[in-house]
A and B are shown apart, each in its own frame.
Chain A
Amino acid sequence: QSALTQPASVSGSPGQSITISCTGTSSDVGDYDYVSWYQQHPGKAPKLIIFDVNHRASGVSDRFSGSRSGNTASLTISGLQAEDEADYYCISYISRNTLENFLFGGGTKLTVL
């Protein structure tokens, strides 16, 4: 069981928009501005696309955007393209006293129909 909850799969048609949720608690997602999102194509390393909840990484298309409401962060991809088909992971960083942790979501498989 993952620390952060993501839907196992989402799908959309080219040109549509989709949103992937990432649900944590008031002690992680809801308490730190350190949620990041990663895209992973099969057999490849993950790639950072969003950091600090809603900042796009360098070179990432503005079709990708991040947001947060309460204990749930979201990744929205607009104008879906075939190349967006991949697995997406959210990560929340927490640090308390001597304990630090990257909490990962279980990943969401995006299918472009």
Chain B
Amino acid sequence: QVQLLQSGAQVMQPGASVKVSCKASEYSLIHNYIDWVRQAPGQGLEWMGRINPKSGDTYYVEKYQGRVTMTRDLSSNLAYMELNSLTADDTAVYFCARRPPLMMAGPCLDVWGQGTSVTVS
């Protein structure tokens, strides 16, 4: 069963950095874009950006440019999202999600990780 398995919850101090991992299971990471989405407590979903695991090319939402870095380790089938200079406003659940191949569907998010809770306090 295709899955994305994320790292566990973290509590961080203001000003610190957090790195969340996302492991592709039962498929090769290289074949699909990985997007990162966050959800603050009681709020809606917010897109942060994406990485093309094949090339390493990234696109970040302007709000996060300069503060977020998305990377991948193809040998381990892992994608990472690192967010720096954390504030209380970064307290949220962070999701990684996969895009299906373009031959199957237009840009959407067909498989989601279980989410990683990040608390900044």
Contacts and interface: CB of A to CB of B under 8 A. Distances in A.
A36 B97 CA distance: 14
A23 to B, nearest CB: 15
B45 A107 contact: yes
Interface string B72-116: 000000000000000000000001010010000111111011110
Given A45-B114, A45-B115, A46-B95, A52 B45 contact: no
A51 B100 CA distance: 10
A112 B118 CA distance: 31
Interface string A73-113: 00000000000000001010101000011111111000000
Nearest to B110: A48
Nearest to A32: B106
A60 to B, nearest CB: 11
A55 interface: yes
Contact of A102 (B47, B110, B113): B47
Contacts of B61: 101
Interface in A41-58: 45-48, 51-52, 55, 57
A17 B5 CA distance: 35
A4 to B, nearest CB: 10
Contacts of A46: 37, 45, 95, 97, 109, 112
A52 B97 CA distance: 17
